Amino acid sequence: MRRVYVYKNKSEDDGKLMAVEDSIETFKSQISLHFNMGKENLKLYSSNGCEIVDLRVIRDEEKLYLSLDTNSSESCETVTNLGYFSQSSIDSERIVSDWITLNVGGRHFTTSRGTLLAKEPLSMLARMFADDNNVYLMNPSATDSTGAFLIDRSPDYFEPILNYLRHGDVILDKHINPKGVLEEAVFYGIDSMIPHLNQLIEESTSNSSSNHCLTRKDVVRSIILTPTTSELRYQGVNLSGADLSRLDLRYINFKYACLSGCNLSGANLSHCCLERADLSHANLEGTQLLGVKALCAHMEGAILRGCNMEDPAGSRAVLEGVNLKGANLEGSNMAGVNLRVATLKNANLQNCDLRTAVLAGADLECCDLSVSDLHEANLRGANLKDAAFELMLTPLHMSQTIR
Topology adopted by domain 213-403: Pectate Lyase C-like (2.160.20)
Angle among Cα 278, 280, 284 to the nearest 5 degrees reads: 100
Please give the Cα distance from 289 to 274 (Å, whole number).
Answer: 10
CATH code 3.10.20.90 region(s) in the chain:
3-91
3-state secondary structure of 129: helix
Q: What is the mean pLDDT of residues 21-38?
A: 81
CATH code 2.160.20.80 region(s) in the chain:
213-403
Amino acid sitting at position 251: Y
For residue 34, the model assigns a pLDDT of 82
Q: What is the mean pLDDT of residues 350-359?
A: 94
CATH of 95-209, one of 2.60.40.1290, 3.10.105.10, 3.30.710.10, 3.40.600.10: 3.30.710.10
Q: How confident is the model at residue 339 (pLDDT cuts 50, 70, 90)?
A: very high
Topology adopted by domain 3-91: Ubiquitin-like (UB roll) (3.10.20)
Helix axes 178-188, 194-210, angle to 10 degrees: 160
* Per-residue pLDDT reduced to its tens digit, 49-108: 677 877 777 877 778 888 765 443 333 333 333 333 344 444 444 445 678 899 999 999
Is 290 exposed, middle or buried (CB count within 10 Å of its CB: 0-12, 13-18, 19+)?
Answer: buried
Which of 333, 330, 356, 355 is CA-nearest to residue 344?
330
Helix axes 155-167, 178-188, angle to 10 degrees: 70
CATH code 3.30.710.10 region(s) in the chain:
95-209
Share of the chain above pLDDT 90, in %: 52
Q: Is the pTM of this model over 0.75?
A: no
Q: What is the mean pLDDT of residues 177-197?
A: 92
* Per-residue pLDDT reduced to its tens digit, 200-209: 888 877 665 5
Please give the Cα distance from 18 to 232 (Å, whole number).
Answer: 90
- Cβ neighbours for 201, distance < 8 A, ≥ 6 positions apart: 178, 179, 182
For residue 117, the model assigns a pLDDT of 87
